[in-house]
């Protein structure tokens, strides 16, 4: 039976500390994305989530968060995961002007997700990326080359998105 040495555990947390702390330095950018999302929901828009590979699970998870809120008093908001993980064709088929396209692109360069963002005419686009950012209205970058760290930070980010969207909706979205 092997044991994990304390320095290994310390190193594991250290790899995550700065990338996750970087979210706080992007607080204004994150708040702007939340405010814009809340405005779209207020006006009848829906959330479409896209992610490929392991990020498809994040897209599915964020949809559940919006559709089935766990906090009493928060309303369900319309959301769906794009069935093909996100492509220009699925955005054209399911997206409507006024919707929100949230893309999980840990490497920022997936050609299908890049195409999905480009096809999102009259939609608000938000990209959660790793160190190579995608092109979107709002880009939230996790500065780490470790894909596990990027995904962990994305989980935190979309939980904050969910929470602040509800805060802005409750406050009337300025």
pLDDT tens-digit readout, 59-92: 999 999 999 987 778 899 999 999 999 999 999 9
Cα 51 from Cα 112, distance rounded (Å): 10
Per-residue pLDDT, 106: 86
CA geometry: angle 174, 23, 20, nearest 5 deg? 150
pLDDT of 116 over the 70 cut: yes
Q: How far apart are CA 102 and CA 105, in angstroms?
A: 10
Task: Round the average pLDDT of the chain to a whole number and report it.
Answer: 90
For residue 3, the model assigns a pLDDT of: 62
- Average pLDDT rounded to a whole number, residues 109-126: 92
Token representation of residue 82:
């794009």
Give the integer Cα–Cα distance in Å for 155 and 128. 10
123 φ, ψ to 5°?
A: -110, 150
Q: Is the pLDDT of residue 2 over 60?
A: no
Q: Check whether 1 has a pLDDT greater than 60.
A: no
Whether residue 14 is predicted with pLDDT greater than 90 in this model: the reply is: no
Cα(160)–Cα(163) distance, rounded to whole angstroms? 5
- In this prediction, residues 36-57 reach a mean pLDDT of 96
4-8, 32-36, 62-66, 158-162, range with the lowest pLDDT: 4-8
Q: Cβ(35)–Cβ(87) under 8 Å?
A: no
pTM over 0.75: yes
Handedness of CA 141, 144, 145, 150 (dihedral sign): negative
């Amino acid at each position: 039976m092997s044991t994990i040495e304390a320095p290994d555990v310390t190193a594991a947390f250290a790899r995550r500390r700065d990338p996750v702390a970087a979210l706080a330095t992007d607080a204004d950018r994150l708040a702007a994305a939340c405010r814009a999302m809340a405005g779209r929901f207020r006006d009848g828009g829906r959330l479409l989530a896209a992610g490929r590979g392991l990020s498809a699970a994040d897209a599915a998870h964020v949809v559940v968060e919006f559709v089935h809120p766990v906090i009493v008093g928060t309303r369900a908001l319309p959301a769906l995961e794009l069935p093909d993980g996100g492509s220009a064709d699925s955005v054209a088929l399911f997206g409507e002007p006024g919707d929100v396209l949230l893309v999980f692109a840990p490497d920022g360069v997936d050609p299908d997700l890049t195409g999905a963002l480009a096809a999102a005419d009259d939609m608000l686009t938000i990209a959660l990326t790793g160190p190579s950012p995608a092109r979107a209205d709002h880009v939230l970058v996790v500065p780490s080359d470790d894909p596990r760290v990027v995904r962990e930070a994305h989980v935190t980010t979309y939980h904050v998105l969910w929470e602040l969207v509800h805060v802005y909706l409750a406050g009337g979205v300025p």
